Chain A
């Protein structure tokens, strides 16, 4: 499913997004970046509470379709501007990680 449709369906706030035509293959929830490095797959949406700058590096390295900051955890300007420069898609949701993941799962695996 195209990223643009998911952003619209989940009502995500767009913090930094270059390419909304990307195909989303699944999702992954984790706040431990080492765990994300080891287990996230390219093309997945990563749902997290972690706001450190390294989120952008890990997202880029693993080529995720985008990062969704859950529970209104808005990242700092350094994170957003780095993501924009690296072409990493960042989104914000006021919803809990549980709700975001549940809604995403229903969209992707109806």
Chain B
């Protein structure tokens, strides 16, 4: 086992708010520059570009399939998958549950699927930056049903964070792990939200621009950089563990 550096929350050109420069090629290049061993591309309610990033990276870095789902409560949840098929099936369900609101690029930005060679595969017309018609519990249930792992994104943040929006965690064991915003000091988060103390805390860059990739990360002590191993680290199994990076300097 060894330490692997992971950024499990970055966006691509498929997010309207993400830079059009974030093609699979650029993402892989920036991830290597930042010394990342494992990444996940989590676009708003979409997983499709992860497939091309994964093909291009060919294991350097390893790539989990992922997406950032916006629940009806306007709380954002990261959903991770080991395989492409499950992620893309959930994406299809999500798109059917999105409001029929168009995405004028001049207002919200472009939503493009880009392949390994930088060619535009398709444009997504419906605005991805909208809450789906499912409440939070349903989002978690649907992700888990397909073998996915659901982690509330930047829990402390307003807008979009579970604690920022809903004030406290839902009853029950979920979530075992949470992500905090790139710029929140760990101790400040634990002081503000005591319920974070008995949960694994991850940090991701939430990069929307190339230079932001790697500004925050999580180190995992694992046998190999896979979703299964990451989840074992959250449970603390067999000596596996994790530690979030220090907070990023810049604040948006």
Contact = CB atoms under 8 A, between A and B. Distances in A.
A80 to B, nearest CB: 15
B158 A54 contact: no
Nearest to A52: B73
Contacts of A4: none
Contacts of A35: 158
Given A50-B73, A52-B73, A52-B135, A33 B170 contact: no
Interface in B147-162: 158-159
Contacts, number: 40
Contacts of B167: 33-34, 36-37, 54, 57-58
B164 A34 contact: yes
Contacts of A52: 73, 135-136, 166, 170
A34 B158 contact: yes
Would you call the interface of chain B mostly helix, strand, loop, or mixed? loop
Interface centre among B136, B167, B170 (most CB of A within 10 A): B167
Interface residues of B, number: 15
A53 interface: yes
Given A32-B158, A34-B158, A34-B163, A54 B135 contact: no
Contacts of A54: 166-168, 170
Nearest to B167: A33
A79 B129 CA distance: 27
Contact of A34 (B73, B136, B165, B171): B165
Interface in B59-82: 72-74
B45 to A, nearest CB: 19
Nearest to A78: B137
Contacts of A32: 158-159, 164-165
Contacts of B163: 34
Contacts of B164: 32, 34
Contacts of B74: 31
B10 to A, nearest CB: 26
Nearest to A54: B166
A35 B164 CA distance: 8
Interface centre among A32, A36, A52 (most CB of B within 10 A): A52
A61 to B, nearest CB: 8
Contacts of B170: 52-54
Contacts of A76: 135
A35 B159 CA distance: 11
24 contacts: A31-B74, A32-B158, A32-B164, A33-B165, A33-B166, A33-B167, A34-B158, A34-B167, A35-B158, A37-B167, A50-B73, A51-B72, A51-B135, A52-B73, A52-B135, A52-B166, A52-B170, A53-B170, A53-B171, A54-B168, A54-B170, A57-B168, A58-B167, A58-B168
Given A33-B168, A54-B170, 18 more contacts: A32-B165, A33-B165, A34-B158, A34-B165, A34-B167, A35-B158, A50-B73, A50-B166, A51-B72, A51-B73, A51-B135, A52-B135, A52-B136, A52-B166, A53-B170, A54-B168, A58-B168, A76-B135
Interface of A: 31-37, 50-54, 57-58, 76
